[in-house]
Amino acid sequence: MEYGIISCIPILVLIVGALITKKMPEMIILSSLVGAILVYKQNFFPNYLQMIYSAISNESYQFLLMILLGFGGMIRLFEKSGALQGFSNIIGKFANTRKKSMLLTWLMGIIMFVDDYLNVLAVSFAMKETTDRNRIPREHLAYGVNSMGACVCVLIPFTSWAAFAVGCMADQGLGFGDYLRAIPFMFFPLVAVVVCLLVGLGIIPKVGRLKKAYQRVDEGGPLLVEEKVGASIVNMGDEDNGDVKPSSPLNFFIPIIALIAGMFLCNNDVVSGILIALAVQLVLYLVQKIMTLTEFMDNLFAGISSMAPLAVVICFAYVLNIANTEMGFAEYLIGGMQRMIPESMYALVPAFVFIIVGLVAFAAASFWVLILLTIPIFVPLSTTMGIDPALVVAAIMSGVAFGSKFCFYSDAVFMTSAGTGISNMTQIKVVAPYVLGSAVLAVIFFAAAGLIMT
């Protein structure tokens, strides 16, 4: 069945409902239910349950779930062992100003390049106490964390994102070398990463919600405003740990090093790295008698359970994505936009590809699937038009990076919310001027590159 414009209804329900009510979890569940009704009509209820089962059994969701639960446990153990306080005391000697704190946040975003989930959760958790100490609004920490994540992962070729993209490119006769050629043309992530640094250093001014956040803090207001409506689903590390004594910063660094090393040893598997890091934490904290085995397990499970609300909401986001897939939502948008490109504007195809992929990524919150879907469409199209395929690959990766940063129900935005305490909708309002400005520059650069290289 061809759904056509009807396939847009669940996303419109989500966007309009979230803007009006500011209740993201409820709107995701409602929009997923609307999708099930549109697809299955009077038989929607049993099939809706089946969609939930399918989401839970989805390998991508299971991977995300393991990361969420594992990081929840790790972070709780870092807090209750005093490792976080020890780490903060060390970096606080360097990051003793706002600019230095945001510079260190940016550098950590580069260092944690292997996976966007690792990047978002580790950096937000590690830097939160330092940025709080220097009176930096949580909104800026959220912007700094949000701006790196996927952008860094697509720019560095030794990441899960790059590996997946190269695998998709192989069916089109392209390989790792072509991905390397595409990196200098990934204009959106390049611009976004640079803009993030310049905003942190005060070279680019703070505008919009970010400017208002600094005004609030400078006038004696709170670093994190408790939102009555639309609050963050999970706030990691914001409970009072005043009775916990700081321990050696090595209790923080060694598990993080074990996590990264474990990932590399296990074919870049983040879950394996987390399990290795948890084992290292167990040995470290028991040997030093920081906590007993019972206390270790209690804290581990407390951290795991704290992630349950976020895991449930993301599950329904996957259900919504299943409904979108059944209705051909992404294909409808891509096909409609593709037909709008006249032959006289072939040189501007890279710019159009970035816009199309970015809009679909923003609307559908489906990034790796979008890479899988668009490379077989746009790479052969670019070849027939005489456009360098590397430029089109760069446009696709730029588009999905844009969506990851700017889609208010993407997993990366949910994780940034969990790490910083800033709700999804507030995040998007804060980053909007910088993300959209970076996107405009990227469109200009893609248009120029297309005209020069075609």
- How many CA atoms lie within 13 Å of 88's alpha carbon, on the beta-carbon side? 19
> What pLDDT does 343 receive?
66
**Do 337 and 352 form a contact (C-beta atoms < 8 A)?**
yes
HEC per residue, 260-308: HHHHHHCCCCHHHHHHHHHHHHHHHHHHCCCCCHHHHHHHHHHHHHHCH
> What pLDDT does 338 receive?
64
- For residue 63, the Cα-to-chain-centroid distance in whole angstroms is 15
Q: What is the mean pLDDT of residues 69-87?
A: 86
Rounded to the nearest 5 degrees, what angle is found at the Cα of 132, between the Cα atoms of 145 and 312?
A: 50
Q: Which two tokens stand for residue 301?
A: 């499970």
Task: State yes or no: pLDDT of 228 exceeds 60.
Answer: no
Over residues 146-170, the pLDDT tens digits come to 899 889 989 988 777 887 788 888 8
Q: What is the mean pLDDT of residues 64-73?
A: 85
> What pLDDT does 447 receive?
93
Give the Cα separation of 204 and 199 in Å (integer): 5
Over residues 107-147, the pLDDT tens digits come to 988 987 777 877 887 888 888 888 999 999 999 999 999 89
Over residues 323-334, the pLDDT tens digits come to 988 888 877 776
Over residues 410-441, the pLDDT tens digits come to 878 888 888 888 988 899 999 999 999 999 99
Over residues 4-32, the pLDDT tens digits come to 889 889 888 887 887 787 777 888 899 99
Over residues 183-219, the pLDDT tens digits come to 999 999 999 999 999 999 999 999 999 999 999 999 9
